[in-house]
Amino acid sequence: MKNKKEVVPVIPPKEIIIGAPAAPVQLMVFSDYESEACAELTETIKKLLEQYEGSININFRHFPLTKIHQKAHKAAEAAIGAAQEGKFWEMHQYLYNHRPNLGVISLKSYAREVGVQDKKFLENLINSYYGWFVQDDLREGLSLGVEDIPALFINGERFEQDLKIKNIKAKIDSLLTKPAVVPLKQKKIA
């Protein structure tokens, strides 16, 4: 049993939370790394994380539209690979900043730039090691009715308004100021 490899479990995207883990407001975004609209929403979310520090968290999910964005799937795999070393947010932002150039060799270079140390990073990309996790996100998105990106959910509900910062802030503010529901004490019947 000396030569048996230790299998390290993969941290799936649904478990990668940016911001306060126990925040009262949770945002989930289905996104594609080649999309301009998704890049804009990422900048909005970056600002929201700063403004609502401790009150919100974000869970990014992958929804690559591969018919029009052929490199988005591999980019999503690269983000998941970086997340295994705690570098998701750094890689996520780097990918959006370099949207026009998301080839596999570039992805390896970007991973190195953000501090990923995994010597098998390129091999994992080539072999689609994280591909099933991207597919899981796609399936979940489809089950929630996602057809186009970006798609935003706030506390489990689809956000149907225009994805402008003022609209998202208004929803977050309403959730943060909503009084907590306290159940009425029931009388004990003997």
Residue ranges and CATH numbers for the domains of the chain are 13-173 (3.40.30.10)
pLDDT at 34 over 50: yes
> Which of 29-43, 59-73, 153-167, 168-182 shows the lowest per-residue confidence on average (mean pLDDT)?
168-182
Q: Which tokens go with 189?
A: 């019947």
Token couple for 68: 């029009």
Counting every residue written for the chain, the total comes to: 190
Model confidence pLDDT, tens digit, residues 6-24? 667 899 999 999 999 999 9
Residue 2, pLDDT score: 55
Residue with tokens 């048996």: 4
- Match 């990014």 to its residue by tokens: 60
In the predicted model, is pLDDT for residue 75 greater than 90? yes
- For position 3, what pLDDT does the model report? 59
Cα distance from N-terminal residue to C-terminal residue, the chain: 64
Kindly report, residue by residue over 156-183, the tens digit of the pLDDT: 999 999 999 999 999 999 999 976 554 5
Angle between helices 131-143 and 72-83 (to 10 degrees): 110
**Which whole number is the average pLDDT over 134-163?**
96
CA distances to 93, 123, 181 from 57, rounded to whole Å, are: 16, 32, 22
Is the pLDDT assigned to residue 187 strictly greater than 90? no
| Predicted pLDDT of residue 178 | 75
Distance CA 57, CA 46 (A): 11
* Mean pLDDT value of segment 133-160: 97
Whether 189 shows a pLDDT value over 50: the answer reads no
Q: How buried is 23 (Cβ within 10 angstroms: 0-12 exposed, 13-18 middle, 19+ buried)?
A: middle
Predicted local distance difference test score (pLDDT) of residue 179: 66
What is the residue-averaged pLDDT of the chain?
Answer: 91
Which residue has 């591969």 as its token pair? Answer: 66
**d(Cα 174, Cα 113) in Å, to the nearest integer?**
39
